[in-house]
Amino acid sequence: MDKFLIKGPCKVKGTVNISGSKNASLPILAATILFDEPVEIKNLPNVKDIDTMLALIKSLGFGVKINKKKNSVLIKKTKNINTFASYSLVKTMRAGILVLGPLVSKFKKAKTSLPGGCLIGARPINYHLNALKKLGMNYRIEKGYVHAFVKSKLNGSCITFPKISVGATENAILAATLANGKTTLKNCAIEPEIKKDLTNFLNKAGARIRWIGKRTVEINGVKKLKKISYSVMGDRIECGTFCVAAAISQGNLKIKGFDPKLINTELNLLKKVGAKIKIDQNLISIIGPKKIKNIKFIKTKEYDGFPTDLQAQFMTLLCKATGKSIISESIFENRFMHVAELRRLGAKIIIKKNNAIIFGGTNFQGAELMSSDLRASVALVLATIVANGKSVINRIYHLDRGYEKIEKKLRSIGVNIKRLS
């Protein structure tokens, strides 16, 4: 099992290019199930979750031609389609459930394993199932699988999500694209990966989707989608992570390939801690402060609030601040698993229910560490970059699920990091 050896402290300096968005690519790849004609997806990140999704689509009988050099894939429907999404492929990745809506919408049936992914909370799929049921899907759950079917075709409906859910919003949009009539989805997730990229991709292929309010989307079903070549947006969380790397290390970094307007909330918080930031089209220039200021209170929220996927990274940053900060986690109930490992490096953090109280002024000292989930893993990388001495981070397969060539990118901007097999 691979691990990282990092020798600190390091100061990041130079230019880094942001890879394609994992969280935008996954639903777009699931959407290719809806097509009769070939689909080319470009700017795919070369990460484990994408490999798993492509393997899943291939297992459903689609032709999948991957070009790793160009970070692209060509997906074609074949005559040998099956509608079984196995546990062996879906168990490692939450997004596997996104094939359910397209399979039922296009092929009228599906047998899909209940999903896996990071151990950061319960994350049941009842919102997905209830939305698809309102569109006409019948289902039962048996031995860890959702057995779903529809008699003739899904029909448009008005659906209000009881709670904002990224995955359920995506699944319902995908299912409604080919349904009969009009579907209105209310209280939707509006992450750029959905509102900017997934709906843009589908509309360019001939879907009729429009946002008619901040969290309301209207979908008029179409009979089929047309051939398309599409380039995925840059990765919002990778961009935010590199911004934190510059801020925590008194770095001087140029970050290319991402629209800064999509992370306004995060950039404003980094300005609060003292970072100097200049933005241009698809370019962020960030200089880290000599003294990191504390932030009294941050709460994770659905977009366009502060993202839960950057909570661990910002917690690491605030360990170095002058004074006390509080981060409140309102999205997932089990997302402070990195705290014990940060304490091993010398952090002073107290957990009270869903609040982390961070006492700043930590002088991180190198240690051996264990990754628990994707974003927690990268928080440990950030801490060890500025720690004194050697650190070893075990179980970095979590990182490989969501960050493309992270050690190569970090090495190119001055981090002393090695992958050990």
Q: In this predicted model, what pLDDT tens digit does every residue of 348-390 receive, in sequence order?
A: 999 999 999 999 999 999 999 998 887 789 999 999 999 999 9
What's the pLDDT band for 116 if we cut at 50, 70, 90? low
ω into 307 cis (within 30 of 0): no
What is d(CA 313, CA 259) in angstroms, rounded to the nearest whole number? 20
The pLDDT assigned to 120 comes to 36
User: Mean per-residue pLDDT for 415-419?
Assistant: 97
DSSP state of 233: P
CA dihedral 390, 392, 396, 398 (to 10 degrees): -90
Pull the structure tokens for residue 12.
């990041």
DSSP state of 262: G
Q: Cβ–Cβ contacts within 10 Å for residue 297, how many?
A: 9
User: Mean per-residue pLDDT for 50-68?
Assistant: 96
Say whether 118 is catalytic.
yes
Decide if pLDDT at 246 tops 90: yes
Q: Cβ–Cβ contacts within 10 Å for residue 264, how many?
A: 11
Decide if pLDDT at 244 tops 50: yes
- Integer-rounded Cα Rg, in Å, for the chain is 22
Q: Which is catalytic among the residues 118, 188, 239, 243?
A: 118
Amino acid at 7: K
Decide if pLDDT at 279 tops 70: yes
The pLDDT assigned to 1 comes to 86
The answer regarding whether domain 22-231 maps to CATH 3.40.1280.10 reads no
Q: In this predicted model, what pLDDT tens digit does every residue of 158-202 receive, in sequence order?
A: 999 999 999 999 999 999 999 999 999 999 999 999 999 999 999
- Cα maximum dimension of the chain: 64
Q: In this predicted model, what pLDDT tens digit does every residue of 298-332 receive, in sequence order?
A: 999 999 999 999 999 999 999 999 999 999 999 87
pTM of the predicted model as reported, rounded to 2 decimal places: 0.94
User: Mean per-residue pLDDT for 127-153?
Assistant: 95
Helices 100-107, 126-134: crossing angle, 10 deg rounding: 20
Question: CATH 3.65.10.10 residue ranges in the chain?
Answer: 3-19+234-420, 22-231
CATH assignment, 3-19+234-420: 3.65.10.10
User: Mean per-residue pLDDT for 277-283?
Assistant: 95
The pLDDT assigned to 369 comes to 96
E-state strands within 305-397: 324-328, 348-352, 355-359, 368-370, 389-394
E-state strands within 68-194: 72-76, 84-85, 109-113, 138-142, 145-149, 158-160, 182-186
What is d(CA 353, CA 361) in angstroms, rounded to the nearest whole number? 23
Q: In this predicted model, what pLDDT tens digit does every residue of 335-353 receive, in sequence order?
A: 798 999 999 999 999 999 9
User: Mean per-residue pLDDT for 64-85?
Assistant: 96
